Amino acid sequence: MTPTQHGKLVCVGTGMRMAGQLTPLARSYIETADVVVAAVPNRFARKWLQDIAKQYICLLDYYADCDIEGKDRLDTYQRMSATILDEVRAGKTVCAAFYGHPGIFACISHMAIEAARAEGFSAEMLPGISAEDCLVADLGVDPGRTGMQSMEATQFMIFERRIDPTALLILWQPYIAGDLSRKRFDTTAARLQVLVDKLARDYPLDHPVILYEAATNPLEEPRMETILLRDLPSAVLNGITTLVIPAAYPLKLDEAIIAQLQALPEAPLLEAV
């Protein structure tokens, strides 16, 4: 849809540590936007944003909604998105800033962009350095080596998924694993045991897994704790913990496909356009 309204929305990521992980383009929008609306938990990053923004609106207080009994956190996210849209509707250039990548496990930005475009406003997302980017660097894994599977922990639990134990598996947000209510920000040992039992269909219980947490400020070190799969229910999980499950078995050649490929006639090389 061609924009027909004067307001504009740009969703940016501040990276995990922000310092050194904020792109020049994202910084430019933060500095020049009429208002910066942000959900950045790190207080140092929040203070920096407040200092350079022309106007700053913090969304973190909205999480208090989740303390209301029976409140679905999706309602809180929709309220955050509505706050962003109110500023766009006022004809402002709005920069919505989220830690990490603004589109990865950040449904607020997706909600806001979809709603803004539906109303005829210009809306775009700029990439940021995510926890997954930090994970690859810190753990020294190459997703291209064996392949990589990535999904939210509860989604893995409640849907029928085909897991390949010869590839790396990343399960996000295990700290709320098994919560069907969307009203909690924690889990229980019993729910984690259900997760372990499902993973045990494809992995040995003594398979080493990694609890990973990206560093969020320059003085921190990332958490890279190796435990056995069976010990997950008693492990310490924080809000930013990610469960990383290395491949349990080597890749196995598909001899039939290889033979089929080898039997194909040589084709001429395609000319460069």
Ordered domains of the chain (ranges, CATH):
8-129 (3.40.1010.10), 132-245 (3.30.950.10)
Name the stretches of the chain with pLDDT < 50: none
Q: Say how many C-beta atoms besides its own lie within 10 A of residue 16's C-beta.
A: 26
Q: What is the pLDDT of residue 271?
A: 66
Q: What is the pLDDT of residue 218?
A: 77
For residues 94 and 34, the answer to whether their CB atoms sit within 8 Å is: yes
Annotation marks residue 162 as catalytic? no
**Starting from the edge strand earliest in sequence, which strands make up the sheet with 168-172, in order?**
148-152, 168-172, 242-245, 208-213, 223-228
Find the catalytic residue in 17, 46, 77, 212.
77
Annotation marks residue 212 as catalytic? no
Find the catalytic residue in 73, 191, 203, 212.
73
Annotation marks residue 99 as catalytic? yes
Q: Say how many C-beta atoms besides its own lie within 10 A of residue 162's C-beta.
A: 6
Give Cβ neighbours of residue 91 (< 8 Å, ≥ 6 apart).
5, 6, 7
Q: What is the pLDDT of residues 79-137, one digit of tens each?
A: 999 999 999 999 999 999 998 999 998 899 999 999 999 999 999 999 999 999 999 99
Find the catalytic residue in 99, 175, 203, 212.
99
Write down the pTM of the prediction. Answer: 0.86
